[in-house]
Each structure stands twice: as structure tokens, then as C-alpha cells.
Amino acid sequence: MAAIIQGIGAATALTSANSLDTKKSFFSNSRRSLSVGAERKGRTFVVRSDGHLSYGLNGRGRRAEQLITNAVAAKEDTAAASTSSKPGHELLLFEALREGLEEEMDRDPAVCVMGEDVGHYGGSYKVTKGLAPKYGDLRVLDTPIAENSFTGMGIGAAMTGLRPVIEGMNMGFLLLAFNQISNNCGMLHYTSGGQFKIPVVIRGPGGVGRQLGAEHSQRLESYFQSIPGIQMVACSTPYNAKGLMKAAIRSDNPVILFEHVLLYNLKERIPDEEYVLNLEEAEMVRPGEHVTILTYSRMRYHVMQAAKTLVNKGYDPEVIDIRSLKPFDLHTIGNSVKKTHRVLIVEECMRTGGIGASLTAAITENFHDYLDAPIICLSSQDVPTPYAGTLENWTVVQPAQIVTAVEQLCQ
């Protein structure tokens, strides 16, 4: 804790990486049969890949039928076995994040957690539940409601050799710490001439929830992508949530881990043995031949719902969860573009200045000669997210729009 206090007031950091550049490493992409769930307004229920639903009470109820009940396309459905017959153990996404964090805290005493209510309350979405009694109040530090202060403190602690995991109760609140994240966290490695590393993880829930209002429905990936020296990843399944959490903690670079508020109750069987994912690797969700669909986070499930319809109509879409929002895995993306020659980008981020805009530019610069049609990007509308549920849905890309866009691309 002395190291943490030493870091108060210190600025913060890392080496810069342009969001349009990437290390062209060779990755092995794996397809996983996963279970899909979501927290709706009426109840919490989990939809497994075998089509069975399990329900849990959540105190409210309606519009359950709008959940993506067939989120995996037919090509995967036929090959998917029941999750109960697979080795490993089942976890919800928030539990997978906790397991990854706990394993790293056991492995490295320099790993610590700080944020609002992360201690004995267990975090706003229970990602840190049970960690305070196990590791004590100095390694799981409850902070005041002062994002700029505890983010700066965490960055200073990273400069002294700790590996802080900073939780924003809601990603929108981290706008209060934008100075610390941009001027300190992203730049200190460079401005110090390499004297300091900033091995910090900044994580928390974000995205459009269920009538959370404009200020609690922020998608900050568009804000942070231009900061030199920051890596950004977005989890979408329990498997990659745990693997990305562990990789982010072990990285010597500052990493922002985006978690979608509606994905915390996804359930999936993950391996018992330890695994760590590559922070710069995309995931091939569904191989195909006709069109490349690039997506991430919650939109992965909207895309997979649309993919089922597209398969029934005779199309064969290739779906890639880009996962790494900065830098992009242009090796995986490029190989897909060279095969399909058509690209559709689906994101929940805003259209203006979003991840889709940067991804479009990167593909155009690197693979323009392989394209047989203009890139189409489906994004959220450039408006504050309405509170009314019906209007909220209109601002976010829906599966029917994805189907229409693919049909247009493949004409």
C-alpha cells in the first residue's frame, strides 16, 4: 500500500501505437461453441447453444421474447454438442472475469484492485465479490467517488511496480479521468524516455443497457482509441473475458478492457486448465465464403442471429469478433477479406469517429485491391441514447438491418 500512496499525484503512461497499425503476427483462431444469455428487463435467463433456456428471477418482467434465442448460426448448431458433456466448468461472464482476476492475484502479489465499492460490496456487477476478505483492504481498495483521483493513484502505483486493476463503476464515469488516462497513462512511458512502465488495467461495464439513459449508455472506445500508447480489448464470452483479463494484467502496457453491461450473465463452459489469450488476436466465430462480417462485444450476438437467417437464405457469412480494438488484427481480417472480397462492419459504437470508421480506413488502406464492393458500416446513431425502450432499440443496429446489408453487398 505504501507503493500506492507513493504514486498519488504522479502522472501516468506507455508506448504509442496507431490504431490503424498492427503487428502482423500469425494467430491460430479457434471456434467455440458458446452459450448465450442476457439480462432482460424482466428476468435473467441463459440461452444455451442447444436452444434450452434456464430462468432466474430478477424482480422485473417483460419482452423476454426479444432476446436472441438462436444466436448461433445453423452451421455451428449442427456441430455443437451439449455443454454439459464437455470438460471444464460453467461460469457466467462476470464470474469468469473474477476467476481470471483472482488467479492473477494469487500468482502475482503486485496485482491489486481499486475502485468504487470493489471491496466488501463486491463491485457493482459483483466481479470482485469475495476478493476483499481473501486479500485484504490494501489489495482490494475501496475508493471515494472520485474517478480522476483513484485513476491517477492507480497509474502512479503502476509506475512504482504494482499492477493495479482499476474498475470504473460505469465506463461513462471514466470521462472524469480522461486527463489521467490520456496525458498520463498513455504517454508516460514515452515522455519518461522509457524509464517507467505503466502496467495498469482499466475495466468496467459500458454499452447500451436496458433503459439506463444517455449518461449510462456510453461507448467510450471511440474516445480512447486516439490516445497513443493505449491498448483496447472488448470481451464477448466468458472464455475470452477470462483470457483477456489475465493477458491484460500481465501486459506491461496500459490496457482498457471493455465489458458490456448486457453480457455479464452469459454462461459458457470454460477449460479447467489455465489459459491466456493474445491481446492482439481476433476470433474467427464462423468461417464463411460470401462476406466478412466484423464485429465485437454485444453486436456479436446480433450478427450471429442475423447469420442464421442469412444461412437459410443461401448466404455463407464469415463472422469475426475483432476483440482487439487497438491495434487491429489485420492478419486475420486481411485473410478473410482476400477470401470473401466483401466487408460488413457491425458495431454498437457511434458512427462518427467510431471503431468502425477506423477499421474501414485500415481495410481500405491495406486491402483495397481485394474488395469487390464498398465497405458497409452499421453503427449506432449519432444521438444520445433515449431512455424509452422502443426508441433505445431504434438507435442500435438490429439483426434485420444486418441481413439487409449483406443482401445488398452480395447483389
CATH for the stretch 3-270: 3.40.50.970
Catalytic residue among 216, 259, 283, 347: 216
Domain with CATH 3.40.50.970 in the chain: 3-270
Residue range 24-45, pLDDT digits in tens: 333 333 333 333 333 333 333 3
Which stretch, 7-21, 50-64, 385-399, has highest mean pLDDT? 385-399
pTM of the model: 0.79
Residue range 272-308, pLDDT digits in tens: 999 999 999 999 999 999 999 999 999 999 999 999 9
Q: Which three cell numbers stand for residue 4?
A: 500506492
- By residue count, the chain amounts to 411
| Strand 231-234 to 267-270 pairing | unpaired
Share of the chain above pLDDT 90, in %: 68
Q: Which three cell numbers stand for residue 191?
A: 515522455
Other C-beta atoms closer than 10 Å to the C-beta of 250 total 17
Cα 162 to the center of its chain, rounded Å: 24
pLDDT recorded at residue 411: 86
Active site residue 216: yes
Distances from the Cα of 107 to the Cα of 111, 246, 249, angstroms = 9, 11, 11
pLDDT recorded at residue 372: 96
pLDDT recorded at residue 162: 97
pLDDT recorded at residue 85: 60
Catalytic residue among 95, 104, 147, 280: 147
Q: What is the mean pLDDT of residues 129-135?
A: 95
Domain with CATH 3.40.50.920 in the chain: 283-409
Pick from 11-25, 215-229, 380-394: least confident: 11-25
3-state helix, strand, coil split of the chain in percent (to 5) is: 35, 20, 45
Residue range 137-151, pLDDT digits in tens: 999 999 999 999 999
Cα 404 to the center of its chain, rounded Å: 26
Other C-beta atoms closer than 10 Å to the C-beta of 52 total 11
Share of the chain above pLDDT 70, in %: 79
Active site residue 368: no
Class of domain 283-409: alpha beta
pLDDT recorded at residue 285: 97
Residue range 40-98, pLDDT digits in tens: 333 333 333 333 334 343 333 333 333 333 333 334 443 334 445 678 999 999 999 99
Separation CA 305–CA 40 (nearest Å): 17
| Among the listed residues 245, 256, 153, 249, the one whose alpha carbon sits nearest the alpha carbon of residue 206 | 256
pLDDT band at 320 (very low <50, low <70, confident <90, very high): very high
